[in-house]
């Protein structure tokens, strides 16, 4: 089929205006091939036939007739070919999967198998397993588990997967253990993912007996209606050779009248793709592929999924305008298209989500009018690893700014897009760039960020400037969308995720039992060896030489003393292996506690020391990485000659390890903190006196090393992997390969293109509602999805909490507006400010602050209060904060503590104090 200028903008992702009149597949091919040079892509104009389909493992049908779907479905099912049918009609989407008579899924959710440590196993039928109460086991009834490292009841270690029944958050039963030995101690129980067999009906059968996946339980009645309505639409097209005309009631009734279906008739606007359907279809195709099917990754849709976004519709619609947005105009009307073109939006981030947002904005015409604009900012540059999920970038863009190249790419897709790029990180440091004028001119913000702190900052800015916010995030196959609507919904900051569970320090230092513990220990070692000492030394030298003006405190002497005392001219790395455990010398394996239980039990694994061997590759990896990193921190050359270093190490005499006397094992962080002691003054002065002066080290400085996981030549990950796996060997913990170590130590958040596309598509549906100005909270949808299960769910955004003082209701979107400049041109003083609130709002201010600066309090000394009473507010702010109010600042934010007429404390909004 050829590409016409009037075609819906969404179909033009890979197409440009110069492709008008060309065959769609052939015009798309070169740009599709650019995405991945390792994937062979081709096109054909041949009509569908059995000979054409036979060589393929997966067939995906889009925009096809029901007759074509049926014969292709019969052929594919009979020949073991997987089939995906994806289609969209206006704000409706349809997806169907047929992966054969017996598809085996061995990993339904893609999550790491759960694991827990055992504290007791009873003998009985059934036997009961109790896990340590440090964390819930997380298992479900029907799960299968295996056991390792159980002492006493060794029969459990050799048995196959056992089905369990959950008895509580820390207990479950496993069947008959009455004939097993007596449990002594230890043991790890691990979830086993058992194969799941799924039978798919062929399309012809599934049409008559549909299995429907529900995505929105607020619309649970709609999928059956859409299932039958879609077939009616196919029949109308077959009879008339065309779909019903947009909003043509006779045509719609005629279409639905040809098919008897339960429920009311759906409306069928013209073609405009709801973006999530394509991405969900992509994910299902991935699940069906041979390599994925062999590994059985993720659960497929069985078998129908229907989607609609009717909440996006406006009340009135206009005619089409013979433009690239005609499909969209037919659905929403020309008035909305004009509003989209006039929008001014700020996209924060140009990574995976940012690229998808910009692409969709270009396709729907956001910011494409003479008054509109889109600004995108991102301080990062493009890396090769970005290319698999950030589709606006190409190999030749590597090392260039993400924001700049993303803007250029979407400008090529739609030359009308008014897009500008910036390389700034959003935050307090860039508020001179993104100032009051910038935010006040915006119509909305779309976040594409990868950290919570930046999200919270942008959320605060949107609340302050009363701008809508589209918030999106992904984590592997999981994703979410939150829409923040001024004066209607709560903000992103209104709720918080539970904090990540930190690993106790005593576990890292003395009792690691999982590879995550040794990797975190290795990361701490990296910081403690190659970054912090160098920073402390540089700070010491700067302080001693008086660069800091004598106002800084000198760095702590004990940490820098060994570093400065051992200042080398050549690297000298003694081949002592990391984490040599002192614990077996202090607490032998037979040690018992006061209660008579074995000390080395439960999560405490008894370690054993390692003997250095220069012929052991892992030992040599550690020495090579550590020596080169030490050399870098001292600014001297290293060596990459493993053979030469190994030969040198064969002649090094390693002294036997001797633990210090009086060392005690701390079994908890509280105990560790309570026994931490500082050096006495005499010893501290002795160390200070022994430090070399800057004159003894003319021009010397050290080079702190910041951990960088993505450079395979810098020895960073080499050190982490070697140190972690050596410590794991100390404690008999299974090691991790480089890839797994990099994921954990680098805290890498996996990104999948299909998840990103689905999330952004759902976010853009909320954009339509924001631009139209929907004022009913129920019209908006927060979305949550996990494509591995698969699961897609929606919920209404929570309303903003309401507060009250006197009879005045207020929310987080409300504030006191105070004009700082009086009619005579003079600024309000503190005395006038306090009097204003007493007179206008019947509020007595007891404390007044701006940021971290306390400007006024009722307990302030009388002399200071008299001094400030008649000073202008901005002058007080400047004096207290010791910072001048920037000329870019149009208003200040004040926080109040107030009493009402009865002297009771009451909660009130903040103050926006306008000064310009």
Q: What is the 3-state secondary structure (H, E, C) of 765-827?
A: HHHHHHHHCCCCHHHCCEEEEECCCCEEEEECCCECCCEEECCEEECCCCCEEEECECCCCCE
User: And the tokens for 292?
Assistant: 């994925």
- Residue 222 corresponds to which tokens in the numbers above? 């709609």
Residue 423 has which token pair? 């390389």
- Token output for 595: 């209660």
Contact 821, 832 (CB under 8 A): no
Q: Tokens in use for 473?
A: 């995030």
Three-state DSSP at 144 gives strand
DSSP state of 553: P
HSE at residue 281, side-chain half, CA atoms within 13 A, is: 23
**Distance between CA atoms of 731 and 723, rounded to whole angstroms?**
13
Long-range CB contacts for residues 381-388, cutoff 8 Å, separation at least 24: 383/710, 385/710, 386/351, 386/352, 387/35, 387/36, 388/36, 388/753
Structure tokens at 828: 């309000």
| Tokens 């959003």 -> residue | 426
Judging by beta carbons within 10 Å of its beta carbon (0-12, 13-18, 19+), is residue 440 exposed, middle or buried? exposed
Q: Can you read off the two tokens belonging to residue 189?
A: 């129980």
* Cα separations in angstroms, 192 against 29, 138, 298: 43, 13, 15
Active site residue 462: no
Q: Which two tokens stand for residue 394?
A: 């190409």
Tell me the CA end-to-end span of the chain in Å, nearest whole number. 59
**Total length of the chain:** 916
CA 591 – CA 600 distance, rounded (Å) = 7
Record the tokens describing residue 492, joined without a space.
């992103």
Q: At a CB cut-off of 8 Å and minimum separation 6, what does 180 contact?
A: 123, 127, 153, 155, 156
Instruction: Enter the tokens of residue 689.
Output: 């006196």
The residue assigned the tokens 């052939």 is 26
8 Å CB contact between 790 and 283: yes
What is residue 351's three-state secondary structure?
coil
Query: Catalytic: which of 76, 312, 373, 506?
Result: 506
The Cα 34–Cα 14 span in angstroms is 11
Asked whether the beta carbons of 366 and 443 are under 8 A apart, the reply is: no
Active site residues: 506
């Amino acid at each position: 089929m050829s590409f016409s200028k009037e075609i819906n903008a969404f179909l033009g992702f890979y197409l440009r205006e110069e492709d008008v009149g060309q065959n769609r597949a052939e015009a798309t091919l070169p740009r599709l091939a650019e995405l991945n040079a390792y994937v062979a892509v081709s096109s054909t104009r041949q009509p569908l036939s059995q000979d054409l389909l036979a060589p393929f493992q997966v067939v995906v049908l889009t925009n096809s007739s029901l007759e074509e779907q049926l014969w292709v479905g019969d052929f594919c099912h009979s020949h073991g070919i997987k089939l995906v049918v994806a289609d969209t009609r206006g704000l409706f989407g349809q997806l169907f999967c047929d992966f054969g008579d017996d598809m085996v899924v061995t990993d339904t959710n893609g999550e790491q198998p759960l694991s827990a440590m055992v504290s007791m196993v009873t003998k009985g039928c059934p036997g009961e397993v109790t896990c340590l109460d440090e964390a819930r086991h997380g298992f479900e009834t029907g799960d299968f588990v295996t056991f390792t490292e159980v002492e006493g009841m060794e029969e459990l270690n050799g048995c196959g997967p056992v089905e369990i029944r959950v008895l509580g958050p820390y207990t479950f039963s496993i069947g008959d253990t009455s004939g097993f030995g007596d449990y002594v101690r230890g043991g790890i129980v691990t979830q086993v993912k058992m194969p799941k067999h799924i039978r798919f009906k062929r399309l012809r059968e599934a049409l008559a007996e549909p299995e429907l996946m529900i995505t929105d339980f607020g619309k649970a009645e709609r999928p059956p209606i859409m299932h039958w309505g879609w077939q009616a639409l196919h029949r109308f097209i077959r009879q008339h050779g065309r779909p019903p005309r947009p909003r043509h009631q006779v045509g719609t009734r005629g279409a639905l009248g040809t098919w008897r279906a339960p429920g009311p008739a759906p409306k069928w606007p013209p073609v405009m793709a709801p973006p999530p359907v394509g991405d969900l279809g992509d994910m299902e195709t991935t699940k069906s592929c041979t390599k994925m099917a062999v590994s059985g990754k993720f659960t497929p849709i069985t078998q129908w999924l229907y989607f609609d976004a009717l909440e996006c519709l406006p009340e009135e619609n206009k005619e089409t305008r013979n433009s690239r947005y005609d499909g969209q105009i037919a659905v929403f009307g020309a008035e909305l298209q004009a509003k989209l073109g006039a929008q001014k939006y700020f996209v924060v981030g140009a990574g995976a989500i940012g690229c998808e947002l910009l692409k969709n904005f270009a396709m729907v015409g956001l910011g494409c009018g003479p008054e509109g604009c889109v600004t995108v900012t991102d301080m990062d540059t493009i890396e090769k690893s970005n290319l698999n999920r950030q589709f606006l970038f190409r190999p030749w863009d590597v090392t260039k700014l993400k924001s700049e190249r993303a803007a250029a790419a979407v400008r090529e897709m739609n030359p009308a897009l008014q897009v500008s790029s910036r390389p700034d990180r959003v935050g307090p440091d860039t508020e001179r760039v993104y100032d009051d004028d910038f935010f006040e001119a915006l119509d909305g913000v779309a976040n594409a960020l990868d950290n919570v702190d930046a999200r919270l900052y942008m959320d605060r800015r949107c609340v302050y400037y009363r701008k809508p916010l589209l918030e999106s995030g992904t984590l592997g196959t999981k994703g979410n969308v939150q829409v923040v609507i001024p004066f209607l919904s709560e903000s992103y900051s209104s709720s918080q995720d539970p904090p990540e569970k930190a690993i106790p320090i005593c576990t890292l230092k003395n009792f690691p039992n999982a590879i995550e513990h040794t990797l975190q220990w290795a990361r701490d070692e990296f910081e403690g060896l190659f970054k912090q000492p160098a920073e402390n030394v540089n700070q010491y030298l700067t302080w001693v030489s008086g660069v800091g003006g004598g106002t800084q405190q000198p760095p702590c002497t004990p940490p820098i003393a060994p570093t400065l005392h051992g200042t080398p001219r050549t690297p000298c790395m003694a081949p002592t292996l990391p984490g040599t455990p002192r614990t077996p010398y202090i607490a032998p394996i037979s040690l018992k506690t006061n209660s008579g239980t074995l000390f080395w039990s439960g999560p405490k694994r008894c370690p054993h020391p390692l003997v250095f061997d220069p012929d052991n590759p892992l030992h040599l990896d550690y020495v090579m990485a550590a020596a080169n990193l030490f050399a870098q921190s001292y600014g001297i050359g290293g060596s990459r000659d493993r053979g030469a270093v190994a030969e040198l190490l064969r002649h090094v005499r390693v002294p036997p390890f001797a633990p210090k006397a009086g060392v005690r094992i701390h079994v908890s962080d509280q105990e560790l903190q309570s026994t931490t002691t500082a050096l006495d003054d005499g010893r501290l002065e002795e160390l200070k006196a022994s430090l070399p002066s800057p004159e003894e080290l003319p021009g010397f400085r050290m080079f702190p090393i910041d951990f960088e996981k993505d450079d395979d030549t810098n020895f960073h990950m080499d050190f982490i992997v070697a140190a972690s796996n050596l410590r794991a060997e100390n404690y008999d913990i299974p090691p991790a390969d480089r890839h797994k170590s990099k994921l954990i130590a680098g805290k890498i958040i996996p990104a999948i293109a299909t998840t990103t596309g689905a999330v952004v598509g759902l976010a853009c549906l909320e954009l339509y509602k924001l631009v139209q100005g929907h004022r009913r909270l129920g019209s908006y949808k927060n979305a949550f999805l996990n494509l591995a299960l698969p699961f897609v769910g929606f919920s209404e955004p929570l309303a903003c909490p309401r507060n009250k003082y006197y009879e005045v209701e207020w929310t987080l979107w409300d504030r006191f507006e105070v004009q700082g400049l009086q009619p005579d041109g003079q600024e309000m003083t503190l005395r006038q400010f306090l009097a204003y609130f007493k007179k206008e709002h019947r509020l007595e201010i007891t404390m007044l602050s701006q940021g971290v600066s306390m400007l006024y309090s009722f307990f302030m000394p009388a002399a200071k209060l008299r001094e400030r009473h008649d000073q202008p507010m901005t002058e007080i702010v400047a004096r207290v904060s010791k910072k001048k109010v920037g000329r870019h600042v149009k208003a200040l934010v004040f926080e109040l503590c107030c009493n009402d007429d009865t002297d009771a404390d009451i909660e009130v909004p903040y103050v926006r104090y306008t000064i310009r």
